[in-house]
Amino acid sequence: MTNDDYRIEARTPHVEDYMRLRLVSGLTPFSREAAEKGLPNTIFAVCLMRGDETVGMGRIIGDGGCFFQVTDIAIQPEHQGRGLAKWIMQALSDYIEIHLPATAYVSLIADVPANRLYAQFGFAETAPRSVGMSRVVGR
């Protein structure tokens, strides 16, 4: 299998693909109801395709003007290790450079060692000036 077997499609993943990719890639799963509500609010997204199968994804979410977040970078485990996450990040980075306002604040929460990938696209750790924080409702 080569990278020629893959392609990037600029579109939001289908709910089923979104939920499956989050689960198999080790990201926190969401309920179907949450996914159905959240996905239509995507600013920009890409799907990594192999034939007709969605094997990876990445999204940009935000308020459309000031704040944006790169999220949901996920690839099925059997397709990892081929540099495909770089393809996803390049597509998202291109969108950021071309379409977002010059004053936009673009953030992400990086799992280690994925932080090394994001650094290649201009993302830098914010500590000690600021630190990422989160709150999960209902836990």
Q: Is 33 exposed, middle or buried (0-12, 13-18, 19+ CB in 10 A)?
A: exposed
Ordered structural domains, the chain, with CATH:
3-119 (3.40.630.30)
Q: What is the pLDDT, as a whole number, of residue 133?
A: 86
pTM: 0.93
Counting residues of the chain whose pLDDT is more than 70, the rounded percentage is 97
DSSP 8-state assignment for residue 30: -
Residue 139 banded pLDDT, cuts 50, 70, 90: low
pLDDT at 31 over 80: yes
Closest CA to 120 of 76, 75, 70: 70
